[in-house]
Amino acid sequence: MMIAAFIVLACLPGLSQDCSRPLLRGSFLQPALGDAWTLGQWRNEFHYMSEAGLDQMVLQWTADSKEKTTIYPSGLAGYTQSTQHDVVKQALETAEVSGGQVYLGLQINDDWWTNYIFDRPWLDNEAKIANALADDLWKRYGRHESLTGWYLGFEVDNVASTRADWDNLVAFYQTVGHHLHELTPGKPILIAPFFNTQADLSSSQWETMWEYVLKHSPIDVLALQDGIGAGHATKAQLPEWFSAVQTAIQNSRPQMHFWADTETFIAGYEPMPIRSIVNDMRAEQPYVSSYLSFSFNHYISPQQVNPLYYKTYLAYLATGKVEQVRPTTPTDLRSVALDSHTVRLAWAASTDNVGVVGYNVLRDGRYAASQRDGTTTFADEQLMAGTTYSYQVKAFDAAGNQSGLSNTTTVTTPPPHLYPTNIALGRPYTSTMPASSSYPDTDGVELTDGVIGSIDFSDPAWQGRATMKTYSFTIDLGSEQVIKEIRSDWLQDEGSGILLPQGVIAAVSSDNVNFTAVGAAKKPLLGDDTLSFWYTLTDLSNVNSRYVRIQVSPGPNAEWTFLDEIEVRQ
């Protein structure tokens, strides 16, 4: 399907540039961020995008078919609006004023990560929902010239699958794709699959899969997630996987457009250095005709992160080069142990020709964390008690230039208070979100049975959830108890998409109705090793209750969280 108005901008007017250099053209936006913006911020965002050469926004979803919510005042039966504002209207109207383009994402659903392309009845039902959603959106917003196309938000990856599974995906794409093309002729349909180099299918097997799927599917644009920020691939592996998808398109649907979905974040969902973004785009350049990003709006825009990232990207646009001046080395690093699990660091600031964005903290010679708030202090939490640690820091700028290492400081945390009795052992509990059927809570007792899992995620002691929504567990201790320590054991296996929660909050109650928070444990700074880790709140004072609740905050992108045990000790 050829689309007359569908043009890739190879060069940007008004900029002195080498036309072969890779440039971001568009950005995915998650609705919660847009809902938080004022009208002025929406206008500013499109101004910043335009100044940086971006004129496309992909609104990542407009509905959640599991939660029955929308981000606009829909006419869908049984759905309620989850946002304060009409995010669809705000995006389309602001884009129209600035000459921008908007792709409307249809629905998301957390069950996709477990049902996937294996469940034909579920997919068929989701196709019906997608069509009804598209009808409702077109009826309400079809008059907007900025409504450029559609995005199908179910992200397909390279897990093991069969030809029958591919047929399920084809049926979904055909049902939704044909409907969208009839409803809105000439408006392209976009998908953004991803790959994990440690997953089941090799690049050649994935090429075979996509050649089959695309040959039978009315899809117009494939924007391949590069997986660099998510840790699914390295820059050196990009040519293999992008070449495979390019070949699949050429052999099956050569009229399609092949774009990159270039990730602009790093582990911990912090901004990626501009040099790394440019280098990744250069690796993708031989295979694609344009670049979306995940996400300019979230990780480069001066409305969301340090403006030095935006300034550095604009300088790249103007010169074709990313600046290379290193910040000066930080000095006078000092440390003190605040308690058995926390060390506080302080140092003298560095300087830079453009500006210092932050400082990398090294613990025992390995990267531990980044300090990005402009201060020259840092609290290292969730440490081991009675342990000696050594620290250094180095400054970095938005380009990715790093200073030399500071002096070394050494500190020892005090020994712990030991609380020998686990009063949660064998006690009943409830959960606000069931575990995945693939990694279930066997017999509803796994969290208090005293069985600790290995670091293999297939160990049945673990239960898993793929969600970005907060969930919680409540344990009934049976009677009022003195509580001195609350801890929960979590798995990290980044190669398998299993990440530690962003944080957990512990609260207690005497009546299971009114809860009082007793502490919060943030995600520890452990690097990317595969391991299990206990989130611990200890040495609690004057805590005496019957019910204990653990509230879990996963990451923002529906990654997996795996838990095997909760302990309450005295």
Reduce the DSSP state of residue 557 to 3 states and report it: coil
Distance CA 325, CA 308 (A): 14
pLDDT tens digits for range 31-56: 999 999 999 999 999 999 999 999 99
pTM: 0.81
- Other beta carbons less than 10 A from residue 82's beta carbon: 17
Distance CA 460, CA 494 (A): 19
How large is the average pLDDT for residues 440-459?
Answer: 93
pLDDT tens digits for range 94-125: 999 999 999 999 999 999 998 999 999 999 99
How does strand 342-348 pair with strand 331-339? antiparallel
Model pLDDT, residue 311: 98
DSSP lists the bridge partners of residue 222 as 191, 258
Contact between 53 and 102 (Cβ < 8 Å)? no
C-alpha distance across the termini of the chain, in Å: 68
pLDDT tens digits for range 371-422: 998 899 999 988 888 999 999 999 999 999 999 999 999 999 998 888 999 9
pLDDT tens digits for range 140-183: 999 999 999 999 999 999 999 999 999 999 999 999 999 999 99
Q: Do domains 331-412 and 429-569 have the same CATH topology?
A: no
- For 397, phi and psi rounded to 5 degrees? -110, 180
Which string of DSSP letters, residue by residue, matches 215-279? HTS---EEEEE--TTTTS--GGGHHHHHHHHHHHHHHH-TTSEEEEEEE-EETTTEEPPHHHHHH
Percentage of the chain exceeding pLDDT 70: 96
DSSP lists the bridge partners of residue 265 as 271
Average predicted confidence (pLDDT) for the chain: 93
CA 369 from centroid of its chain's CA atoms = 18
Distance CA 373, CA 379 (A): 13
Contact between 421 and 361 (Cβ < 8 Å)? no
Domain boundaries 331-412, corresponding CATH code: 2.60.40.10
How does strand 257-263 pair with strand 290-294? parallel
526 band by pLDDT with thresholds 50, 70 and 90: confident
- What residue spans define the domains of the chain? 26-319, 331-412, 429-569
Position 223, amino acid: A
Burial code (b: 16+ CB inside 10 Å, e: under 16) for 501-521 equals bbebbbbbeeeeeebeebeeb
Reduce the DSSP state of residue 203 to 3 states and report it: helix
Residue 3 above 90 pLDDT? no
Domain boundaries 26-319, corresponding CATH code: 3.20.20.80
Q: Which two tokens stand for residue 119?
A: 């469940």
- For 175, phi and psi rounded to 5 degrees? -60, -45
Least confident residue range of 16-30, 195-209, 399-413: 16-30
How large is the average pLDDT for residues 283-301?
Answer: 97
Contact between 133 and 107 (Cβ < 8 Å)? yes
Model pLDDT, residue 19: 52
Q: Which CATH architecture has domain 429-569?
A: Sandwich (2.60)
Residue 12 above 90 pLDDT? no
244 band by pLDDT with thresholds 50, 70 and 90: very high
Reduce the DSSP state of residue 566 to 3 states and report it: strand
Residue 275 above 70 pLDDT? yes
pLDDT tens digits for range 232-241: 999 999 999 9
How large is the average pLDDT for residues 341-367?
Answer: 95
Position 116, amino acid: Y
Which string of DSSP letters, residue by residue, matches 411-465? EEPPPPPP---BTTTT--EEESSPPPTTS--GGG-GGGS-PPP-S-TTSTT-EEE
Percentage of the chain exceeding pLDDT 90: 85
Model pLDDT, residue 558: 66
How large is the average pLDDT for residues 325-329?
Answer: 98
Q: Which two tokens stand for residue 46?
A: 């499109």
pLDDT tens digits for range 70-97: 999 999 999 999 999 999 999 999 999 9
| C-alpha dihedral sign at 442, 448, 450, 454 | positive
**Residue 51 contacts by C-beta under 8 Å, 6 or more apart in sequence?**
314
pLDDT tens digits for range 451-463: 999 999 999 999 9
- For 452, phi and psi rounded to 5 degrees? -100, 130
Region of residue 99 (phi > 0: left; psi between -120 and 50: alpha; otherwise: beta): left
Position 342, amino acid: T
How does strand 147-151 pair with strand 101-105? parallel
568 band by pLDDT with thresholds 50, 70 and 90: very high
Q: Which two tokens stand for residue 212?
A: 């089959």
